[in-house]
Amino acid sequence: MTRVLLAGGGTAGHVNPLLAVAHELIRHEVATPAEILVVGTKEGLETRLVPEAGYALVTIGRLPLPRRLSLRALMFVPRFIAAVVASFRIIRSHRAKIVAGFGGYVSAPVYVAAWLARVPLVIHEANAVAGFANRWGARLTRHVVTTFSVTNLPGAKLLGMPMARAITHPTTRTSVSDARKHFGLSARKKTLVVTGGSQGSVTINSTIEAVAADLLAAGWQILHIVGNRNPLPASVGPGYVALRYCDRMDLAFAAATAVISRAGAATVSEIQLLGLPAVFVPYPVGNGEQEKNAGNSLQAGAAVLVGDSDFTPAAVRTTVLPLLNDDVALESMRARAKGLGRADAAEAFVQVMAGALGDPKKGERS
């Protein structure tokens, strides 16, 4: 058995692949739950999801990279050093034999601490455009893998997105009708799953609320996941179900005929694997990574993309609704999505970790 430290947090896009790898480590008898320690922040979804999954969580300060010169920017260096020292102590006290990171604000100091402690380091970059923590960390290890082929990290290898086995290898296949009944929906009606990610999307939420009656009138029913930070909208009638957060996305996707969503890396990967027709509305803030995340699906003809500012009620009525009502087009998109996702990425990541453990250079870049 091996003592493992996993670092990542903030959004579900960082936490879910981390948990998928943790479960895979146990399944392959690499580690027990007691030997796995997760480092996150106090503000992210990890504070709920990690303990619920049965793993110990320790937190360090959230350290967003300053965008401009300010008093906060001047304090970044001493705060970063303090976070590295705290991470070093965590690695030592846990007696970690390997560190694996999944990005997010918490990861950068952990990467530096692993390098200083000469503990093997493996990094997974979820997005098509790498974030600051992983761009920094990739300089410290030779064991870097990505979800998408377009990600520009020197020396990185394409691996795919680690996902929960409930999605990649379900032990029992939940029927479409049972999945829909789980959410209080009709077993037989076409179902549109709408999600703005774990935090939700004001743009998507407001537009879907405005056109919900049109979608219901066209014969669709809606499962609308509005996000943790957003209020539940008033019901627009039978066939419309709203949730703040969905712990069973495997059932949500099993219920879906089509999906409207942000283009977070994990969501795109799950939609690809399951062969669901998708309308992606990329989050417009950041490095533009969400639009690039959707690139493979767009090229394959498995999805369409609508810009955030263009996702208006009028646009949905004139472009999205006709697509949703075209069963032939949806079936073609479904067929084109097949083969885009990788079901064994979590297992492959564990194999990369095993290789790093056997690397005499302990993961540092020469």
- Please tell me the predicted confidence (pLDDT) of residue 201: 92
State the span(s) of the chain assigned CATH 3.40.50.2000.
Answer: 4-166+343-357, 170-337
The tokens of 109 are what?
Answer: 């100091």
Assign domain 170-337 to its CATH superfamily.
Glycogen Phosphorylase B; (3.40.50.2000)
Q: How far apart are CA 302 and CA 289, in angstroms?
A: 19
How high is the mean pLDDT in each 10-residue block of the chain (366 residues)? 92 90 96 96 90 95 67 75 95 97 92 97 95 92 95 93 92 91 96 90 95 96 92 86 91 96 94 95 87 94 96 96 96 90 94 87 48
Which residues are CB-contacts of 314 (< 8 A; sequence separation ≥ 6)? none
Q: Which architecture, in CATH terms, is 4-166+343-357?
A: 3-Layer(aba) Sandwich (3.40)
Helices 265-274/12-27 angle, 10° precision: 60
Per the CB < 8 A criterion, the answer to whether 259 and 269 are in contact is: no
Q: Give strand pairing partners of 195.
A: 225, 261
Q: CA torsion, points 18, 19, 23, 29, in degrees to nearest 10?
A: 40
Q: Which two tokens stand for residue 36?
A: 């796995």
| Cα maximum dimension of the chain | 64
